[in-house]
Structure 1
């Protein structure tokens, strides 16, 4: 799933390529992709594009008083093409969900792999009209998001810190992968209760959040859209690396599985050497 660093890189990538160009057509291919109907997609045709902004994991392209907004969800991606095929896209079994064509022949496709179709597109007068954007918490890279603001968000949170970091209404843009990375860098258990973190642990977590996200954004700077997935994977230290040695201490990276996701962590770095219970595996063994 694209998270804040990858979406920020896509914002930068699109900002450089779309500003000043004119929309020819926006053609949905998957029935599930379009979440709004008024204004229609055809209202974008002939409009001159301006800047692209990021709102958590959402991208919003300004188009002459309207906004084309998309959320790539778990398996979506953006594929840029300097020259799009002349023939209009046809619905089928492939991953193509929508084509965004420019009058000079370029543009991009939105694709989504897998059977669960969650990629979303909106056409609105203001990005805040998108329900997911309206619910977003603060952006962790915003200048005003200091340690005091972070501590205030955690106060009273009786949930596990892993879930708090992933909750878009608390902090915008952090998903499953980077929450694993942040907790590993902070040397905290993903099951620790957010409200129970003392001042020292909160400071450590805030520093890890800032460093992890900013370093990932810096690694992605200037990369083409097609290279971002590989860059993300190469930069991860524990997420997706079950069974591999921890790059910090050499212990084996462990996993806890849930119904539709999993988390990875290092017992030595994060839980005092104690493996966390994998509830799904425990049920299978009964």
Structure 2
């Protein structure tokens, strides 16, 4: 699932090219991905993109209040919100032709066309998953999307300080799940929670309320440093380059059976229904091999 660093880089890439562009096409081959639409999606045609940004793991495209199409008040801005879910992503092209399903890598959820200063651009939203999770919302305010309304603080927001982070660690919850809980901290998913915990030398199944104050400080600092460094590494990359760049940057996530780059131990995996986590026993669990319940049996 796309997470904070690559979506930050993605929206920066798109904002640079699409801010000020006119939306000229919005095709939805199926109504299934469109979860909420306050107005017909056709009413966005002719409007101008004001900005492209991110909220948590959501992509947010603000459409300026300059349209005149029926079904929408031209005095009101609209927002196109995309939740990529587990297996969604987009392709970007310098044409209106779009991308076919094979080139997009899966089921096409939507195709958007733009024009700016005589240059055409196209975006194809596609979902490669067995269960199609990519969702599109057209709303008057981002908070109308339930997942956005419930988001916790952004981990790299300067206002999100150690004292607020530390208050989360009164919970009797595994820290892997705490970091991934979007209601507590926005933008971190399965991959970066594995990477943060490995870099902080903490077990993914440790209970939050059991951490010592110095461990909480270490986790907080590691989280900010790792996410910030990942963003800097990804900025300026094309959308097609971001997923490979993320995969190449991982030290333990998706590296089951490889040698840990820190200590050389074998990276282990704990599998759950529909997901898994990876960790290094030497770096994170004092050599303990975790089972699904973290009881010490080999996963």
Q: Tell me if both proteins adopt one fold, taking TM over 0.5 as the criterion.
A: yes
SS in 1 for 2:96: coil
Structure 1, unpaired ranges of 5+ = none
Corresponding residue to 1:197 among 211, 224, 229 = 211
Corresponding residue to 1:80 among 92, 96, 100 = 92
- The question of whether the paired residues in 1 share the 8 Å contact of 2:270 and 2:290 is answered with yes
Corresponding residue to 1:244 among 243, 258, 265 = 258
CA distance in 1, matches of 2:281, 2:106: 41
Q: What corresponds to 1:114 in structure 2?
A: 129
Corresponding residue to 2:140 among 117, 125, 128 = 125
- Distance change (3 Å), C-alpha of 1:51 and 1:255: same
1:94 deviates by 4.5
SS in 1 for 2:47: coil
CA distance in 2, matches of 1:43, 1:152: 45
- TM-score, scaled relative to structure 1: 0.93
- The question of whether the paired residues in 2 share the 8 Å contact of 1:258 and 1:279 is answered with no
CA distance in 2, matches of 1:86, 1:120: 19
1:26 deviates by 1.1
The answer to whether the aligner puts 1:97 opposite 2:112 as a matched pair is: no
- Distance change (3 Å), C-alpha of 1:61 and 1:86: closer
Instruction: Tell me the C-alpha RMSD between the 2 structures.
Output: 2.1
- Distance change (3 Å), C-alpha of 1:44 and 1:236: same
- The question of whether the paired residues in 1 share the 8 Å contact of 2:91 and 2:99 is answered with no
The answer to whether the aligner puts 1:139 opposite 2:154 as a matched pair is: yes
SS in 1 for 2:16: helix
1:279 deviates by 5.7
1:195 deviates by 1.4
- TM-score, scaled relative to structure 2: 0.89
Deviations 1:160-209 (A, max 9, x none): 00001111001000000000000001110001011111110000110110
SS in 2 for 1:264: strand
Q: What corresponds to 2:68 in structure 1?
A: none
- The question of whether the paired residues in 2 share the 8 Å contact of 1:30 and 1:97 is answered with yes
Give 4+ residue runs of structure 1 displaced > 3 Å after superposition: 86-89
1:43 deviates by 1.9
Q: What corresponds to 1:42 in structure 2?
A: 42
- The question of whether the paired residues in 1 share the 8 Å contact of 2:98 and 2:111 is answered with no
1:51 deviates by 1.2
Corresponding residue to 1:220 among 216, 234, 251 = 234
SS in 1 for 2:185: coil
Please say which of residues 21-30 and 160-169 is displaced more in the overlay: 21-30
CA distance in 1, matches of 2:214, 2:165: 13
1:278 deviates by 3.6
